[in-house]
Amino acid sequence: MLIQTTLIQTLFNIFCYFTEIHITKHMEDQVCTETQNITFKVEVSHPGIAAVWTFKKQPLKASPKHKIEAKGKNYSLSVINTMKDEEGEYAFAAGEQTSSAKLTVSGGAINRPLQDVTVADSQTAELECEVANPTAEGKWLKDGQPVNFSDNVKHMNNGAVRRLVITITRPNDIGEYTYQVANSKTTANLRVEAVKVKKTLKNQTVTETQEAEFSLELTHKNVKGSQWIKNGVEIIPSEKYEITTDGMVHTLKIKNCDTRDESVYGFKLGKLSANARLNVESKCIF
C-alpha cells in the first residue's frame, strides 16, 4: 500500500511538472538604430496561454507601434520604427513565469550622410544618403523649408537609399539641403557654377549649296537646355539643320545653304548667349 501511494504521488508530481507553464526559451537583448524594427521572442512549454508584454513595467497592447503575435508555443513582440526613448527593459509574463530583455537604441537613423555637390548651371544634381531602415519615412528640406517637388525636382527611394534629383539646376537651386528621418538628419550644400563661353561663335561666309558650321566651346560638359536660334526662333534638328554636342563643344551645321539662310544665328543657355552672322554668296555663273 505504501509503494502504491508513493507511486501515485510520483506520477502526480510528474503531471504537475509537465502541466505547469514554464519558459523554454528566454528573450534576448536587442541593439538597433533609430527607425529600425526589432523583435523579442519567447518560447513556452504550452500553447494557448494568456501572456502579457510590458515595457518599463507598463502593459503593452497590439498597435501600429507594437506588433504582438502568438503561434503555438512561440510568442513575439515587435517594436516598429524604434525611437531613442523606447530603449529600456521589455518583459514577458505567463502566469508566474517571466522573461525580460533590454533594448538599446545605439545610433541615429542615417547610416550614410549627404555629401556636398557642385554642378554647372543646367547640369543634373543628385543628393544621396542612406537610412538605417528601408521603410522609414523622412523629409527633404532646403534652407530649413520643405522642398517643393516638381517635374524638375524629384525624390526617389531605392531600398535604404534616399535620393533628391534636380534635373536641370539653376542658380536659385543653390542652398543647404537636409534629409531628416526621426530625430536624425544629414545636411549638405549644393553649389551651382556659372557656365561661360570658352570659345565663341565666329561669322561665316559660304557659297550657295555649301555647308555652314557654327561652333562654340563652353567651360563645362553635359549642360542641358541649350538652344540654337535664328531670327528669335528656336532651330529644330532636321535635314536642313544638324545640331551636335561633343563634350564642351556645341555645333550647328546648316546644309545646302542659299541666300534665304543669311541671318544672325545665336546660341542660348539660360542667360548665356552668343551670336554670329552667316553670309551666303551667290555662285558665279559663266
Domain boundaries, the chain: 2-107, 110-193, 197-281
Residue type, 137: E
- Quote the CA–CA distance of 137 and 157 in Å, as a whole number: 10
Q: Kindly give, in sequence order, each residue whose CB lies less than 8 Å from that of residue 217, ignoring residues fewer than 6 positions away.
A: 197, 198, 199, 248, 249, 250
Neighbour-count burial of 145, counting CB atoms closer than 10 A to its CB (0-12 exposed, 13-18 middle, 19+ buried): exposed
User: How high is the pLDDT of residue 261?
Assistant: 96
User: How high is the pLDDT of residue 285?
Assistant: 62
pTM of the model: 0.65
CATH code of domain 197-281:
2.60.40.10
Which H or E run includes 12? helix 2-19
User: How high is the pLDDT of residue 13?
Assistant: 44
- Quote the CA–CA distance of 128 and 158 in Å, as a whole number: 11
User: How high is the pLDDT of residue 286?
Assistant: 56
User: How high is the pLDDT of residue 15?
Assistant: 42
Tell me the CATH number of domain 110-193, given options 2.60.40.1840, 2.102.10.10, 2.30.130.10, 2.60.40.10.
2.60.40.10
**DSSP assigned state of 283:** P
Residue type, 284: C
Beta bridge partners of 114: none
User: How high is the pLDDT of residue 2?
Assistant: 45
Whether 197-281 and 110-193 are alike in CATH topology: the answer is: yes
Counting DSSP H helices and E strands in the chain, the numbers are 1, 27
Strand pairing category for 30-33 and 97-107: parallel
User: How high is the pLDDT of residue 182?
Assistant: 85
Please tell me the class of the 2-107 domain.
mainly beta
Kindly state the cell numbers that stand for 198.
570658352
| Segments of the chain scoring below 50 in pLDDT | 1-2, 5, 8, 11-17
User: How high is the pLDDT of residue 139?
Assistant: 96
Which H or E run includes 110? strand 110-112
Strand pairing category for 233-234 and 227-230: antiparallel
